[in-house]
């Protein structure tokens, strides 16, 4: 990676997703369905999607032990992701068992207690962070799970004002509360407090309607919620709602809506991650690497970037698991829709 090129730095967990094999039945005795192991996790998905789009991207991750670890690194490297920020860890790799609903939406069962992803230290992050970081993306489980969440928050606070900071809560309710969450050191009040701290220094926030329902259970007005989140400090808020229109909120500007592309859906695993990566790649390509540049970006230019990002997410949904498109795939899809 060119040492002078502004870089997207993604910080978060590495997860192996066990996805059910389509069409494989449960067997004559009702045994478990067949599964295929795929690399996943918010951070890895975002980095891989951005790398496939040609963006300069580095991934900061704690690579756990076990036979699946090498596949996680290889998956990132094959998509052009700089993995020099990987920290070799003795703790195990995180594992998610995925079930799919009739609409392709995922349901997760996690095996993550004591995993490598939650153990970040200030020293590790200081050593791993690329000097060329122009946009730092944090989010998902590692950003709100102790003890490493504290180090992540301190890094975001330190970079605020010198690099763009992006936050995606990407909540997993069973890990944010209840018995499993408690085993990780999480409870709903603590998770909300940690996310509030990150949103306070964020320039960009992507939040789903599903996450919003957990964070703010009494919120029914998504338009109002998008405007309110934009008033909390970010220069840009994207509120996603499955196949419903995207809400795009900026402080002091009218709320915008954008219809996502309609495609045949295999599943929606990694859709939000692909959307975020598409936006990040577009911002870097357009030279939008400062808060001032983001704030003054004309609406028409922003909408063009969001449309591309939404198409990246849609193309991902046509494939099984988190399998985002390349830059060539995106160009071909845009040409087909022109």
Cα separations (Å) of 59 from 44, 77, 116, 120, 326? Answer: 7, 10, 15, 14, 18
Q: Which CATH topology does 7-13+42-92+118-330 take?
A: 3.40.1190
Query: How large a percentage of the chain has pLDDT more than 90?
Result: 80
Candidates 189, 185, 239, 233; CA nearest to 209 is 239
Q: How far is CA 211 from its chain centroid?
A: 13
Which pLDDT belongs to residue 1? 59
- What is the predicted pLDDT for the residue at 28? 65
Residue with tokens 């449960």: 26
Three-state SS for 215?
helix
pTM for the model stands at 0.93
**What's the pLDDT score for residue 96?**
87
Q: Are residues 117 and 184 in contact, defined by beta-carbon separation less than 8 angstroms? A: no
Stretches in the chain below the pLDDT threshold 50: none
C-alpha angle 136-141-147 in degrees, rounded to nearest 5:
90
Distances (CA, A) of 245 to 25, 251, 256, 261: 35, 19, 10, 10
Cα separation, 186 vs 176, whole angstroms: 5
Long-range contacts of the stretch 182-187 (C-beta < 8 A, 24+): 183/113, 184/112, 184/113, 184/118, 184/145, 184/146, 185/145, 185/146, 185/147, 186/144, 186/145, 186/146
C-beta neighbour count of 148 within 10 angstroms: 23
**What would the pLDDT profile of 115-153 be if each residue is shown by its tens digit?**
999 999 999 999 999 999 999 999 999 999 999 999 999
């Amino acid at each position: 990676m060119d040492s002078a090129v502004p870089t997207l730095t993604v910080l978060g967990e590495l997860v192996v997703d066990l996805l059910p094999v389509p069409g494989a039945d449960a067997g004559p005795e009702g045994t478990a369905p067949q599964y295929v192991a795929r690399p996943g996790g918010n951070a890895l998905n975002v980095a891989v999607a951005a790398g496939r789009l040609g963006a300069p991207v580095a991934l900061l991750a704690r690579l756990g032990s076990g036979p699946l670890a090498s596949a996680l690194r290889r998956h990132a490297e094959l998509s052009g992701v700089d993995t020099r920020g990987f920290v070799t860890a003795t703790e195990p790799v995180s594992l998610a068992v995925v079930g799919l609903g009739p609409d392709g939406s995922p349901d997760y069962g996690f095996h993550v207690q004591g995993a490598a992803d939650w153990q970040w230290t200030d020293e590790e992050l200081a050593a791993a962070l690329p000097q060329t970081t122009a946009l730092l993306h944090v989010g998902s489980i590692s950003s709100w799970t102790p003890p490493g969440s504290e180090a992540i928050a301190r890094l975001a606070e330190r970079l605020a004002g010198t690099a763009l900071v992006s936050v995606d809560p990407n909540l997993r309710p069973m890990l944010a509360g209840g018995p499993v969450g408690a085993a990780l050191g999480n409870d709903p009040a603590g998770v909300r407090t940690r996310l509030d701290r990150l949103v306070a220094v964020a320039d960009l926030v992507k939040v789903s309607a599903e996450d919003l329902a957990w964070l703010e259970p009494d919120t029914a007005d998504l338009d109002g919620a998008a405007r309110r989140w934009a008033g909390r400090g970010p220069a840009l808020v994207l509120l996603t709602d499955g196949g419903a229109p995207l809400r795009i909120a900026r402080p002091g500007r009218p709320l915008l809506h954008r219809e996502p592309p309609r495609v045949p859906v295999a599943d929606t695993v990694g859709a939000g991650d692909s959307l975020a990566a598409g936006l990040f790649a577009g911002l870097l390509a357009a030279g939008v690497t400062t808060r001032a540049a983001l704030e003054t970006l004309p609406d028409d230019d922003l909408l063009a970037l969001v449309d591309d990002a939404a198409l990246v997410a849609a193309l991902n949904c046509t494939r099984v698991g988190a399998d985002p498109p390349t830059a060539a795939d995106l160009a071909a899809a845009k040409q087909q829709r022109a």
